[in-house]
């Protein structure tokens, strides 16, 4: 089965090449990724309509940074939150529990797991927890007015299925990106 296949070694090869870089280059890359994530996340507020299709791509810079190195990904995650505090404070409420959490969780999973099902499940569980926290703890209508603020197992199950499929797409894009990057590095 496809989900039980192991991820190949492209990611480890790129991580080893990244560890050879100077500390300054690593920090610059993390800062660049954080700036890119902040711009993409704030697109929903800056460009109403089309920006809501752009803002989910804020996951990508955090995911890439965390796949390179856990400290760089963590730095990019927190720096993005600081930039959002300045640029678009309303997005600061959503980013840490949705797109940012998905990026950092899935990127960290690449360091610990090698099977697709494990990688996808970790990100899906974290995204489900983040969206459920926004819906049921903070009462923030992250999924719009159609979803009730009262807890429902059906809603949580639907969120998990959607998060699983969504994270599957991100995992496949990340593997594709790192395969291309391995060709450039070697």
Q: Which domains does the chain have, with CATH numbers?
A: 7-185 (1.10.1760)
Residue 8: the pLDDT is: 66
Strand partners, 6: 115
Q: Which of 7, 120, 102, 165 is nearest to 15 (CA)?
A: 7
Residue 167 · residue 102 · CB < 8 Å: yes
Residue 126: the pLDDT is: 96
- Cβ neighbours, 10 Å, residue 3: 12
In a structure prediction context, what are the per-residue pLDDT tens digits for the chain, which is 186 residues long? 677 777 767 778 788 888 899 999 999 999 999 999 999 999 988 888 888 899 899 999 999 999 999 999 999 999 999 999 999 898 888 999 999 999 999 999 998 888 899 999 999 999 999 999 999 999 888 877 777 778 889 999 999 999 999 999 999 999 888 888 777 766
Q: How far apart are the first and last CA of the chain?
A: 30
């Amino acid at each position: 089965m496809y989900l039980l296949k192991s991820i190949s070694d492209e990611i480890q090869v790129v991580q080893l090449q990244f560890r050879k870089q100077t500390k300054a280059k690593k920090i610059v890359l993390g800062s660049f990724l954080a700036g890119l994530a902040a711009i993409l996340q704030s697109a929903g507020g800056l460009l109403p309509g089309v920006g809501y299709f752009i803002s989910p791509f804020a996951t990508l810079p955090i995911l890439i940074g965390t796949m390179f190195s856990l400290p760089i990904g963590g730095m990019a995650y927190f720096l993005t939150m600081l930039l959002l505090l300045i640029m678009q404070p309303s997005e600061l409420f959503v980013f840490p529990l949705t797109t940012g959490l998905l990026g950092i969780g899935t990127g960290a999973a690449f360091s610990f797991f090698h099977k697709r099902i494990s990688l996808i499940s970790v990100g899906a569980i974290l995204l489900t927890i983040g969206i459920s926290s926004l819906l049921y703890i903070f009462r923030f209508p992250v999924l719009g007015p159609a979803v009730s603020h009262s807890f429902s197992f059906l809603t949580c199950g639907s969120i998990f299925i959607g998060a699983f499929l969504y994270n599957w797409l991100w995992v496949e894009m990340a593997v594709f990106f790192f395969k291309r990057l391995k060709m450039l590095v070697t």
